[in-house]
Structure 1
Amino acid sequence: MKTLYLNLILYGFMIVIVALIGGAVPLIAKWQRKTIRLFISFGAGVLLGASFLHMIPEAADLIHDGIGLPLLFGFLSLYLFEKFIMVHACEAEDCNFHTVGLSALLGMSIHSFVTGVALGAGMLAPRLGLVVFLAVLLHKFPESFSLASILVHENYSRRKILGSVLVVALMVPLGAGLLILVLGKISSGVLGWLVAFSGGTFLHIAADDLLPEVHSASLNRKATLSIFLGGVLLMWVSHQFIA
């Protein structure tokens, strides 16, 4: 258990650092739209690969035929949530619809907390911790970039923008830590349910938030597709070593 908490501290620290870097980018320079979307494409591949190649098979080993319901519940929970507070990993001026200011901060905070729960569930399953962490880490950069871009558009000060990014980033280790603290010793059935639920949330993030960016007509589709497949390939390679 001590090693588990040490890993959580390390993972949380790295997630916060990457999030702050992503949040600082819009304050320092205006990146081209296509550049940030390359990160998004890679992150989509990693999340999709992590879900299909790692989390769903692990959950199936734990709960067998009962995997469908928690997987669907995880997917739908984020889908329904985003119907009310919708913030995507894109620049503020390019989103078709988004809420701003405090709504964006609240929405991404809850989103990050759920992501933290997924990380905690992955850490409780010995073969998933590093994989889920990597997927979360790679998603944090474009997510923080998105939040900072929205707040810049709303004329927030730099201090408030970075503070908001920090709050959202801290929700990940908070969610993971609470799950581990409350459910540190759980049955394989409960763990399987949590892993399947987490896999469903990853599928939603990849399919609904990120994959549309991969298919953007304004980008070089071959480049974005290659980078997307590179993310999937990374998860496949990791599966060969971890499985």
Structure 2
Amino acid sequence: MLHRHRTGSPIDEMLDAAILFLATLFGGLVSLRVRWTERLLHVALAFSTGIFLGAVFLHLLPSLDAAGDAHSHHWEASVLEARSFEESPPAHSSSEGKLSVLVRGDRAWFFVLLGVLGVYLIEALVLRTHDHDDLHRHRAVGYAALVGLSVHSFTAGLALAVMAGRGLLVGTLLLAMVAHKIFDSFSLASVLLLGKMRRARIHMLIAVFSTITPIGLLVGGAATTHLGQAGMTIVTALAAGTFLFVCVGELLPEVFHHREDSLAKVSLLAAGVAVTMLMHGVGA
């Protein structure tokens, strides 16, 4: 099915969306079927953390640099075009124009900072209590990971919609995205389990998460047009900041909180990064 001939039709998009939904759901359910001990869960969490670190540093943050350069070049081209007609530079009266000013060059990194501070302040000032502090912190991390991963998955769905419309979503690329979704969902479920949520609630969250990339794929062009490239850059930057804090501020300290199984944890952490590197290398 992954190697079928594509026509870019709505039926093709529906089939791709169904494949991605089932793959994501499968990854989460596999994680939930494992009988985790506290020790085994922390070892598995190392792999999940590697997946998330790879998403931040190999996909989200590099895409901000590329987007910032693109917005800068677009602005410079607009100014040169205006001058060639002896007109004033574009006023950027549209919402897209105003947002574009915010993300030119390295300005998008400000929204990464907002993402980091936003998650930290919510976790520290709103969600943290004096009783069962670790449990509440773990749950806050789980929800933050869910939000960041959902944004990342939605933007991936939008990108897939563009490629599908051009007949590019075939073979290896779709297979890589399916594998990516399985690993993402497995990792998310393991993080949610750390917060000792009820299984029924985790099942519900995984089911909702499984719809995110398919929704991005199906709404495709309409969502991209509404948000604009600058809006998408801001959303991506906020997601990157969320992931950055969750990984460095919460998950890594949690993984290595106890010294046992250190070699296994380091190996799985590296394996998680390697998997994301592989997926990124083939365009997923």
TM-score normalized by structure 1? 0.70
Q: 1:77 to 1:178 in 2, by over 3 A?
A: farther
SS of aligned partner of 2:108: helix
User: In structure 1, what is the equivalent of residue 156 of structure 2?
Assistant: 122
d(CA) in 2 for partners of 1:142, 1:177:
22
d(CA) in 1 for partners of 2:52, 2:213:
17
1:19 matched to 2:37: no
Q: Is the 8 A contact 1:19 1:144 kept in 2?
A: no
User: In structure 1, what is the equivalent of residue 188 of structure 2?
Assistant: 140
Q: What are the within-5 Å matches in structure 2 for residues 56-135 of structure 1? A: 56-64=61-69, 65-83=106-124, 84-85=126-127, 97-99=134-136, 112-126=146-160, 130=177, 133=181
Q: Is the 8 A contact 1:42 1:230 kept in 2?
A: yes
Q: 1:204 to 1:8 in 2, by over 3 A?
A: farther
RMSD: 3.6
Q: In structure 2, which of residues 200, 209, 216 is the aligned counterpart of residue 163 of structure 1?
A: 200
Q: 1:6 to 1:237 in 2, by over 3 A?
A: same
Q: Is the 8 A contact 1:23 1:144 kept in 2?
A: no
SS of aligned partner of 2:41: helix
Q: What amino acid does structure 1 have at the position aligned with 2:268?
A: I
User: CA shift at 1:51, angstroms?
Assistant: 1.0
d(CA) in 2 for partners of 1:233, 1:18:
18
User: CA shift at 1:73, angstroms?
Assistant: 1.9
User: In structure 2, what is the equivalent of residue 183 of structure 1?
Assistant: 223
User: CA shift at 1:48, angstroms?
Assistant: 0.7
**Offset from partner CA, 1:89-134 (integer Å, 9 cap, x none):** xxxxxx852239xxx5x98567524532221023223599938735
Q: 1:162 to 1:200 in 2, by over 3 A?
A: same
% same residue: 18
**Offset from partner CA, 1:126-159 (integer Å, 9 cap, x none):** 5999387356324223124224xx25xxxxxxxx
d(CA) in 1 for partners of 2:180, 2:114:
19
Q: 1:122 to 1:69 in 2, by over 3 A?
A: farther
d(CA) in 1 for partners of 2:38, 2:201:
22
Q: 1:77 to 1:14 in 2, by over 3 A?
A: farther
Unmatched 5+ stretches in structure 1: 88-94, 152-160
Q: 1:241 to 1:135 in 2, by over 3 A?
A: same
Q: In structure 2, which of residues 221, 224, 237 is the aligned counterpart of residue 196 of structure 1?
A: 237
User: CA shift at 1:52, angstroms?
Assistant: 0.7
1:229 matched to 2:270: yes
Q: In structure 2, which of residues 241, 256, 264 is the aligned counterpart of residue 215 of structure 1?
A: 256
Q: 1:16 to 1:230 in 2, by over 3 A?
A: same
User: CA shift at 1:47, angstroms?
Assistant: 0.9
User: CA shift at 1:41, angstroms?
Assistant: 0.5
Q: Is the 8 A contact 2:31 2:189 kept in 1?
A: yes
1:34 matched to 2:39: yes
Q: Is the 8 A contact 1:70 1:196 kept in 2?
A: yes
SS of aligned partner of 1:125: helix
Aligned pair count? 217
Q: 1:110 to 1:209 in 2, by over 3 A?
A: closer
